[in-house]
Amino acid sequence: MAHAAMAQQAEQAAFTSTYFIPFSMERNALRQVLEAEGVLSATQYRMLIELFFAHPGTIPQSELSTLLHVKPNVIANAFPQLDTLMFTHRRESEQDARARIAAITPQGIAYVNESEKTLVTQFRITWPPRNENYQRLFRAITHVGHSIDKNIPPVISATHPTTHLIAALESIARPIEEETKTQSGYPIPECRVMQRLYETHMPMRIGVVANQLMLTNATATRTTKALHEKGLIQRLAHPHDNKAVYIALTERGEREALRVVNIINYAGSKFFWDRLGEGHMITFTQLNRVIVTIMKMQRQAQEAAELSNLTSID
């Protein structure tokens, strides 16, 4: 991939760090639901969703790997649990005995229907229905996701809105992340931290970076440690606060971050902007401000909650 081509694409349509936020919101909400249920992993649930969309049809097991942008061995290893739970049924292909064809069972359909109810409750917390900013984001993403992933039946938007949202977001996120990781050679969290530091051009506290990118503190700490070991960031101390650790790009880090930013923008153009109709493109270019507003609201709510717990030390 030519650097000049990526730079030209980047100038046309930047895919900034804020556009990754809805992916994190969806994944965090889904993870909380699946961990509470303790039945399926996120990958297994996404597999079940695709089979649910295809019902009463079937999907070749190899095609699921392509649809979900997941390695074939990951799909193969995830199926036994789905089969054991009788959520899916697989049979040999009539054309090739080595190939497997998968379908969702009535038990699998029942599980998706029941999980939708739980997901609605969790997503109402993550995407408050009475907040217009969240709902604009919700509507735009589901519409665009459907235009990208033709396997999503239109009726799903009405009957299973959160299931639709998950599929829509992942159909946008996975190709962009896969392209970015492959072309840059860095894990996605490292790419996102470098992207954010390049956007701000200033030192940032690790906790602030984690909050802005919606990364867990553990992921942010692990990621910054890896970047530091690679010589891409430096750690800085505050003269009046020994506990405050800041991070900033090194000279080499600046060059690598620019390369990563161009790769992300190229991937965003290739797998997102270029696939949108004019109306959806206008909607999404406005969403940057909406997402920033949402993040600001979340930070204010968190700060208010922390202040409410203050006690006197006099």
| Structural domains for the chain | 22-177 (1.10.10.10), 185-293 (1.10.10.10)
Q: What average pLDDT does the segment 266-272 reach?
A: 88
| Lowest-pLDDT range of 82-91, 118-127, 137-146 | 137-146
**Helix count (H) and strand count (E) of the chain?**
14, 6
The pTM (predicted TM-score) of the whole model is 0.82
Distance between CA 225 and CA 140 in Å, rounded?
36
Closest CA to 265 of 13, 96, 3, 4: 13
Is residue 133 within 8 Å of residue 22, measured between CB atoms?
Answer: no
Is residue 33 within 8 Å of residue 115, measured between CB atoms?
Answer: yes
Range with the largest mean pLDDT of 34-38, 95-99, 202-206, 224-228: 224-228
Per-residue confidence (pLDDT) for residue 227, from 0 to 100: 98
State whether residue 233 is helix, strand or coil.
strand
Compute the residue count for the chain: 314
Asked if the model's pLDDT at residue 244 lies above 60, the reply is: yes
Asked if the model's pLDDT at residue 285 lies above 70, the reply is: no
For the stretch 32-42, what's the b/e string if a residue is b when 16 or more beta carbons lie within 10 angstroms of its beta carbon?
A: ebbeeeeebee
State whether residue 103 is helix, strand or coil.
strand
Query: 233-238 and 204-205 as β-strands: parallel, antiparallel, unpaired?
Result: unpaired
Asked if the model's pLDDT at residue 116 lies above 80, the reply is: yes
Q: What average pLDDT does the segment 299-309 reach?
A: 68
Q: What H or E segment, with its residue span, contains residue 25?
A: helix 21-37
For the stretch 270-301, what's the b/e string if a residue is b when 16 or more beta carbons lie within 10 angstroms of its beta carbon?
A: bbbbebbeeebbebbeebeebbeebbeeeeee
